[in-house]
């Protein structure tokens, strides 16, 4: 009853946030002269951050928002209006919808931005594809290998344009570093070191009183039920990033959170976007680092702290090394190499995107695949998820990236999927 009262008060306070659907006005889908109508699913810190970018693009309009936390949804709408005013944009009021499936039923919405906690990504993305929506889904794409493959299959079946939110692929620094490596500027790659933080941990948080504003059962969704704790779903007033990222089954620790960024650059630099490593060797005792995985060509990647800043990659080649993070690109022994333009004669170039969101919007109009298509996002997430399995089992694993199965290891293969609570079933598409 407390929650019903809260929602009733919120509805009155936010009654201005509504919109006349475009199909009522005579529109049906997008054309070269129409804005792409966007719905946002998940409006925590990441969702709000994405919104402040999407309001800049004249080719799209945010028209609806969905979240299980009414308070955060109201705040999203208020922030959205402030952003429009700040950018001298015409007022574009939002419809607030608690159930994301109701949002997906709206015929005027062309595409969705999914910024929910990771354990919801697969179900929401599959449902969005079935509903005929193009999809931008935050990284890491999935919480299991099986989920990721289902997301790819659904996107392909329903011919959806799907961008994974690994936005470093649209940054000049990372693109330049990748092209230096692909074109042999530091010679043949021998080994790679990646510092991204720890694997997931079991959730042992005590149950606290659930805030009136949140539908906790819906927040849990397909995952095994457990009681509310503010570290899992930080209240609006709490400025931290949600700590659900650290705990299975809601997140995969920093192995998936930052691994989805940094292992993604490794995959890209080695031209492994449609495959993956073949062997994973973790420490033989409990540890937060030390995992080594290797590719069929023999290149080894070690998860360990090697620098000073964290969330950084070191590529070691036969003729030098390249180190990269969001804050720097460095090369040794030739330090000027980091600033050296790629020559016209260098043929191993990569897809050039200068804006991750606009790349997706442009591909929606062209019906082409964006820079971090769902298959690419799935392959990177698979590296992360298999690494977590290796850390959990504490023994070497042989991985077949074609079949997406462990070789002769039925026990490990049981960990490639996870059970869902009824009525959720991402496999149904």
117 is a domain residue: yes
**One domain, residues 152 and 284:** no
Nearest to 266 by CA among 315, 304, 218, 309: 315
134 is a domain residue: yes
Domain finish residue from 168, 191, 208 = 168
Distance separating alpha carbons of residues 39 and 49, to the nearest angstrom: 14
57 is a domain residue: yes
**One domain, residues 150 and 269:** no
Q: What is the CATH number of the domain that holds 105?
A: 3.40.50.720
Per DSSP, which regions of 67-166 are E strands? Answer: 95-97, 111-114, 134-137, 162-164
343 is a domain residue: yes
Helix orientation angle between 374-393 and 259-269, rounded to the nearest 10 degrees = 110
- Quote the number of domains for the chain: 2
Distance separating alpha carbons of residues 133 and 314, to the nearest angstrom: 38
**One domain, residues 176 and 131:** no
Full residue range of the structural domain in which residue 387 is found:
169-199+255-416
**One domain, residues 355 and 401:** yes
Distance separating alpha carbons of residues 47 and 26, to the nearest angstrom: 30
Domain finish residue from 168, 185, 211 = 168
**H or E stretch at 316:** strand 312-317
Residue 3: predicted pLDDT: 53
Per-residue tens of pLDDT for the chain, all 429 residues: 455 555 545 544 444 333 333 433 333 344 444 899 999 999 999 999 999 999 999 999 999 999 999 999 999 999 999 999 999 998 888 999 999 999 999 999 999 999 999 999 999 999 999 999 999 999 999 999 999 999 999 999 999 999 999 999 999 999 999 999 999 999 999 999 999 999 999 999 999 999 999 999 999 999 999 999 999 999 999 999 999 999 999 999 999 999 999 999 999 999 999 999 999 999 999 999 999 999 999 999 999 999 989 999 999 999 999 999 999 999 999 999 999 999 999 999 999 999 999 999 999 999 999 999 999 999 999 999 999 999 999 999 999 999 999 999 999 999 999 999 999 999 999
* Alpha-carbon torsion (268, 272, 274, 280), positive or negative: negative
**One domain, residues 178 and 155:** no
**One domain, residues 279 and 366:** yes
Laid out side by side, the sheet with 134-137 consists of 95-97, 60-66, 36-41, 111-114, 134-137, 162-164
Residues 6+ apart with CB under 8 A from 342: 176, 179, 180, 183, 349
Give whole-number Cα distances, 93 to 23, 61, 111, 118, in Å.
Answer: 16, 10, 17, 28
Q: What is the CATH number of the domain that holds 392?
A: 3.30.360.10
Residue 335: predicted pLDDT: 97
Nearest to 376 by CA among 192, 176, 146, 164: 164
237 is a domain residue: no
**One domain, residues 179 and 31:** no
Domain finish residue from 168, 188, 213 = 168
**One domain, residues 89 and 185:** no
**H or E stretch at 45:** helix 45-54
Instruction: Please give the angle made by the CA atoms of 134, 275 and 201, to the nearest 5 degrees.
Output: 80
260 is a domain residue: yes
**One domain, residues 175 and 190:** yes
């Amino acid at each position: 009853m407390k929650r019903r009262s809260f929602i009733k008060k919120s509805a009155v306070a936010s009654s201005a946030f509504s919109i006349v659907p475009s199909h009522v006005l005579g529109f049906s889908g997008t054309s070269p002269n129409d804005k792409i109508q966007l719905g946002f699913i998940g409006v925590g810190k990441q969702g709000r951050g994405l919104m402040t970018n999407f309001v800049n693009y004249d080719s799209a309009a945010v028209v609806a928002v969905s979240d299980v936390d009414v308070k955060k949804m109201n705040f999203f709408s208020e922030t959205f209006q402030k952003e429009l005013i700040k950018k001298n944009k015409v007022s574009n009021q939002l419809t607030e919808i608690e159930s994301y499936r109701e949002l997906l039923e709206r015929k005027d919405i062309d595409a969705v931005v999914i910024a929910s906690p990771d354990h919801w990504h697969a179900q929401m993305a599959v449902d969005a594809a079935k509903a005929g929506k193009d999809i931008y889904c935050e990284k890491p794409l999935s919480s299991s290998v099986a989920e990721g493959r289902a997301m790819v299959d659904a996107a392909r079946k329903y011919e959806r344009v799907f961008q994974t939110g690994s936005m470093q692929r649209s940054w000049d620094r990372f693109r330049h570093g990748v092209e230096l490596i692909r074109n042999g500027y530091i010679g043949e790659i021998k080994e790679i070191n990646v510092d991204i933080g720890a694997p997931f941990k079991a959730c042992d948080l005590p149950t606290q009183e659930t805030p009136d504003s949140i539908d906790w059962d819906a927040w849990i969704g397909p995952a095994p039920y457990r009681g509310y704790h503010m570290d899992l779903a930080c209240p609006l007033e709490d400025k931290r990033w949600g700590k659900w990222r650290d705990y299975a089954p809601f997140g995969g620790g920093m192995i998936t959170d930052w691994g989805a960024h940094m292992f993604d650059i490794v995959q890209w630099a080695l031209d492994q976007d449609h495959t993956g490593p073949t062997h994973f060797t973790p420490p033989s005792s409990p540890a937060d680092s030390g995992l080594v995985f290797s590719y069929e060509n023999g290149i080894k990647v070690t998860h360990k702290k090697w620098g000073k800043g964290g969330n950084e990659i070191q590529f070691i080649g036969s003729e030098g090394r390249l180190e990269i993070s969001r804050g720097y690109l460095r090369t040794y022994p030739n330090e000027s190499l980091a600033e050296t333009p790629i020559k016209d004669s260098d043929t191993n170039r990569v897809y050039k995107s200068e804006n991750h969101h606009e790349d997706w919007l442009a591909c929606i109009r062209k019906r082409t695949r964006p820079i971090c298509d769902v298959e690419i996002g799935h392959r990177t997430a698979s590296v992360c998820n298999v690494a977590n399995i290796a850390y959990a089992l504490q023994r070497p694993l042989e991985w077949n990236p074609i079949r997406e199965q462990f070789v002769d290891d039925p026990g490990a293969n049981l960990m490639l999927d996870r059970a869902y609570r009824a009525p959720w079933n991402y496999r149904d598409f």
